[in-house]
Amino acid sequence: MDVIDLKSREVFSHEGRGVAALVDEPHLKINQVGLEPGKIVPVHVADAPVTVHVLHGEGTFSAGDETVRMGPGKLLRIQKGVSMGIRNESMEPLVFLVIKTPLADGPAPDSLLATKPGTFVNLVDFAPPKPGKEEAFQEWFYNSSQVFAKHPGFISRSLLGPIEGGNRYATVIEHESKETFMDMHLSDDRENLFQQVGSLVLGSSTPHFYETLLSYRK
Protein backbone atom coordinates (compact mmCIF):
# COMPACT_ATOMS: atom_id res chain seq x y z
CA MET A 1 0.00 0.00 0.00
CA ASP A 2 1.30 3.43 -0.98
CA VAL A 3 0.15 6.64 0.69
CA ILE A 4 0.88 9.90 -1.16
CA ASP A 5 0.83 13.13 0.83
CA LEU A 6 -0.56 15.56 -1.75
CA LYS A 7 0.14 18.66 0.31
CA SER A 8 3.82 17.82 0.58
CA ARG A 9 4.02 17.33 -3.20
CA GLU A 10 2.68 20.77 -4.12
CA VAL A 11 5.17 22.55 -6.37
CA PHE A 12 5.31 26.33 -6.77
CA SER A 13 8.58 27.58 -8.22
CA HIS A 14 9.63 31.20 -8.45
CA GLU A 15 8.11 31.17 -11.96
CA GLY A 16 4.74 30.33 -10.44
CA ARG A 17 4.09 26.86 -11.82
CA GLY A 18 5.23 23.32 -11.22
CA VAL A 19 4.50 19.65 -11.83
CA ALA A 20 5.01 16.69 -9.49
CA ALA A 21 4.75 13.16 -10.90
CA LEU A 22 2.82 11.06 -8.36
CA VAL A 23 2.17 7.84 -10.32
CA ASP A 24 3.85 6.71 -13.54
CA GLU A 25 2.62 3.28 -14.63
CA PRO A 26 1.81 1.90 -18.12
CA HIS A 27 -1.95 2.48 -17.79
CA LEU A 28 -2.12 5.09 -15.02
CA LYS A 29 -0.26 8.38 -14.77
CA ILE A 30 -1.06 11.01 -12.13
CA ASN A 31 0.57 14.43 -11.98
CA GLN A 32 -0.11 17.18 -9.47
CA VAL A 33 0.10 20.65 -11.02
CA GLY A 34 0.38 23.98 -9.23
CA LEU A 35 -0.33 27.32 -10.91
CA GLU A 36 0.04 30.69 -9.26
CA PRO A 37 -2.39 33.46 -10.30
CA GLY A 38 -1.95 34.44 -13.95
CA LYS A 39 -0.06 31.28 -14.92
CA ILE A 40 -1.16 28.78 -17.58
CA VAL A 41 -0.69 25.29 -18.96
CA PRO A 42 -0.39 25.94 -22.72
CA VAL A 43 -2.94 24.38 -25.06
CA HIS A 44 -1.85 20.88 -26.11
CA VAL A 45 -3.48 17.69 -27.37
CA ALA A 46 -4.39 15.01 -24.82
CA ASP A 47 -2.49 11.85 -25.75
CA ALA A 48 -4.74 9.69 -23.53
CA PRO A 49 -8.09 10.02 -21.73
CA VAL A 50 -7.64 12.66 -19.02
CA THR A 51 -9.50 13.33 -15.77
CA VAL A 52 -8.81 16.62 -13.96
CA HIS A 53 -9.60 17.01 -10.25
CA VAL A 54 -9.13 20.39 -8.58
CA LEU A 55 -7.77 20.15 -5.03
CA HIS A 56 -8.00 23.83 -4.16
CA GLY A 57 -8.40 27.12 -5.97
CA GLU A 58 -10.33 27.78 -9.18
CA GLY A 59 -9.21 27.60 -12.79
CA THR A 60 -10.46 28.00 -16.34
CA PHE A 61 -10.20 24.73 -18.25
CA SER A 62 -10.59 24.47 -22.03
CA ALA A 63 -11.30 21.28 -23.98
CA GLY A 64 -11.74 21.70 -27.71
CA ASP A 65 -14.18 24.60 -28.25
CA GLU A 66 -15.59 24.40 -24.71
CA THR A 67 -14.44 26.28 -21.62
CA VAL A 68 -15.46 25.80 -17.99
CA ARG A 69 -14.45 27.45 -14.72
CA MET A 70 -14.04 24.81 -12.05
CA GLY A 71 -13.08 24.46 -8.41
CA PRO A 72 -12.98 21.60 -5.87
CA GLY A 73 -15.77 19.02 -5.84
CA LYS A 74 -15.99 18.30 -9.58
CA LEU A 75 -14.19 16.14 -12.13
CA LEU A 76 -13.47 17.19 -15.70
CA ARG A 77 -13.09 14.37 -18.24
CA ILE A 78 -11.33 14.96 -21.56
CA GLN A 79 -11.10 12.39 -24.34
CA LYS A 80 -7.90 11.40 -26.11
CA GLY A 81 -7.04 13.64 -29.06
CA VAL A 82 -8.87 16.73 -27.74
CA SER A 83 -6.91 19.98 -27.33
CA MET A 84 -6.83 21.21 -23.74
CA GLY A 85 -5.42 24.14 -21.80
CA ILE A 86 -5.62 25.57 -18.28
CA ARG A 87 -5.48 29.11 -16.89
CA ASN A 88 -5.45 30.41 -13.34
CA GLU A 89 -7.31 33.70 -13.73
CA SER A 90 -8.11 33.90 -10.02
CA MET A 91 -6.26 35.67 -7.20
CA GLU A 92 -5.43 32.40 -5.40
CA PRO A 93 -3.09 29.48 -6.17
CA LEU A 94 -4.63 26.62 -8.17
CA VAL A 95 -3.65 23.00 -7.46
CA PHE A 96 -5.13 20.08 -9.39
CA LEU A 97 -4.53 16.46 -10.33
CA VAL A 98 -4.17 15.35 -13.94
CA ILE A 99 -5.06 11.66 -14.15
CA LYS A 100 -4.24 9.91 -17.43
CA THR A 101 -5.39 6.40 -18.29
CA PRO A 102 -3.53 5.38 -21.47
CA LEU A 103 -5.55 2.95 -23.53
CA ALA A 104 -4.25 -0.57 -24.10
CA ASP A 105 -4.80 -0.31 -27.84
CA GLY A 106 -1.30 -1.05 -29.10
CA PRO A 107 -0.31 -3.69 -31.67
CA ALA A 108 -0.66 -7.41 -31.06
CA PRO A 109 2.24 -8.99 -29.15
CA ASP A 110 3.53 -10.75 -32.27
CA SER A 111 3.52 -7.54 -34.31
CA LEU A 112 6.80 -5.92 -35.32
CA LEU A 113 5.50 -2.62 -33.93
CA ALA A 114 5.17 -4.18 -30.49
CA THR A 115 8.94 -3.81 -30.13
CA LYS A 116 8.89 -0.02 -30.49
CA PRO A 117 10.82 1.82 -27.75
CA GLY A 118 8.02 4.35 -27.18
CA THR A 119 10.53 7.21 -27.01
CA PHE A 120 9.22 10.78 -27.30
CA VAL A 121 11.36 12.86 -29.66
CA ASN A 122 11.52 16.65 -29.88
CA LEU A 123 13.26 18.10 -32.96
CA VAL A 124 14.01 21.82 -32.62
CA ASP A 125 14.96 23.88 -35.67
CA PHE A 126 17.08 26.74 -34.28
CA ALA A 127 17.32 30.15 -35.89
CA PRO A 128 20.84 31.00 -37.15
CA PRO A 129 23.29 32.21 -34.50
CA LYS A 130 24.12 35.91 -34.61
CA PRO A 131 27.44 36.76 -36.35
CA GLY A 132 30.31 35.87 -34.06
CA LYS A 133 28.04 33.99 -31.62
CA GLU A 134 28.49 30.44 -32.99
CA GLU A 135 30.97 29.42 -30.29
CA ALA A 136 28.86 30.96 -27.52
CA PHE A 137 25.78 29.17 -28.89
CA GLN A 138 27.52 25.78 -28.80
CA GLU A 139 28.77 26.48 -25.27
CA TRP A 140 25.18 27.34 -24.23
CA PHE A 141 23.99 24.08 -25.74
CA TYR A 142 26.60 22.04 -23.84
CA ASN A 143 25.85 23.72 -20.51
CA SER A 144 22.05 23.57 -20.95
CA SER A 145 22.24 19.87 -21.85
CA GLN A 146 23.91 19.17 -18.51
CA VAL A 147 20.98 20.87 -16.76
CA PHE A 148 18.29 19.08 -18.81
CA ALA A 149 20.00 15.72 -18.24
CA LYS A 150 19.13 15.99 -14.53
CA HIS A 151 15.39 15.84 -15.30
CA PRO A 152 13.66 12.43 -15.02
CA GLY A 153 13.07 10.66 -18.32
CA PHE A 154 15.95 12.34 -20.15
CA ILE A 155 17.65 10.05 -22.71
CA SER A 156 19.74 12.24 -25.00
CA ARG A 157 20.14 15.71 -26.53
CA SER A 158 22.15 16.18 -29.72
CA LEU A 159 23.13 19.31 -31.63
CA LEU A 160 23.16 19.05 -35.43
CA GLY A 161 25.30 21.60 -37.28
CA PRO A 162 24.94 23.03 -40.78
CA ILE A 163 26.85 21.75 -43.82
CA GLU A 164 27.37 23.02 -47.36
CA GLY A 165 27.10 26.68 -46.50
CA GLY A 166 24.05 26.49 -44.25
CA ASN A 167 23.76 28.51 -41.06
CA ARG A 168 20.94 26.85 -39.11
CA TYR A 169 21.28 24.36 -36.27
CA ALA A 170 18.90 21.65 -35.12
CA THR A 171 18.53 19.78 -31.85
CA VAL A 172 17.20 16.27 -31.27
CA ILE A 173 15.93 15.54 -27.75
CA GLU A 174 14.89 12.04 -26.67
CA HIS A 175 12.72 11.46 -23.60
CA GLU A 176 11.18 8.32 -22.15
CA SER A 177 7.66 9.70 -22.62
CA LYS A 178 5.69 12.81 -23.48
CA GLU A 179 4.88 13.20 -19.78
CA THR A 180 8.53 13.37 -18.70
CA PHE A 181 9.31 15.74 -21.57
CA MET A 182 6.44 18.08 -20.61
CA ASP A 183 7.62 18.10 -16.98
CA MET A 184 10.97 19.36 -18.25
CA HIS A 185 9.38 21.68 -20.85
CA LEU A 186 7.30 23.48 -18.18
CA SER A 187 10.20 23.75 -15.74
CA ASP A 188 12.01 26.90 -14.64
CA ASP A 189 15.23 25.45 -16.06
CA ARG A 190 13.83 25.37 -19.58
CA GLU A 191 12.35 28.89 -19.40
CA ASN A 192 15.52 30.42 -17.98
CA LEU A 193 17.85 28.68 -20.45
CA PHE A 194 15.81 29.61 -23.50
CA GLN A 195 15.73 33.23 -22.34
CA GLN A 196 19.54 33.10 -22.36
CA VAL A 197 19.81 31.69 -25.88
CA GLY A 198 17.53 34.43 -27.23
CA SER A 199 20.47 36.85 -27.22
CA LEU A 200 22.58 34.45 -29.30
CA VAL A 201 20.29 33.66 -32.26
CA LEU A 202 18.49 35.60 -35.00
CA GLY A 203 14.86 34.76 -34.30
CA SER A 204 12.88 32.04 -32.55
CA SER A 205 13.18 28.26 -32.69
CA THR A 206 10.60 25.92 -34.25
CA PRO A 207 9.77 22.68 -32.37
CA HIS A 208 8.51 19.46 -33.96
CA PHE A 209 7.32 16.44 -31.97
CA TYR A 210 7.53 12.75 -32.85
CA GLU A 211 7.16 9.30 -31.31
CA THR A 212 9.65 6.55 -32.14
CA LEU A 213 7.82 3.79 -34.04
CA LEU A 214 10.74 1.60 -35.07
CA SER A 215 14.46 1.86 -34.48
CA TYR A 216 17.16 0.01 -36.40
CA ARG A 217 20.74 0.58 -35.39
CA LYS A 218 23.80 -1.36 -36.44
CATH of residue 148's domain is: 3.30.70.100
Residue 57 lies in a domain: yes
What is the predicted pLDDT for the residue at 94?
94
Shared domain for 88 and 137, answered yes or no, is no
Shared domain for 58 and 91, answered yes or no, is yes
Residue 52 lies in a domain: yes
What is the predicted pLDDT for the residue at 105?
54
Tens of pLDDT, residues 15-51: 788 888 899 888 899 999 999 999 998 888 888 899 9
pLDDT score of 109 more than 60: no
Shared domain for 127 and 202, answered yes or no, is yes
Domain span at 93: 7-100
Shared domain for 117 and 96, answered yes or no, is no
**What is the domain count for the chain?**
2
Shared domain for 77 and 116, answered yes or no, is no
Q: Where is average pLDDT lowest: 100-109, 151-160, 181-190?
A: 100-109
Q: Supply the Cα-derived Rg of the chain in whole angstroms.
A: 19
Share of the chain above pLDDT 70, in %: 90
Residue 105 lies in a domain: no
pLDDT score of 137 more than 60: yes
pLDDT score of 157 more than 60: yes
In the chain, which residue ranges form alpha helices assigned H by DSSP? 134-148, 178-185, 188-197
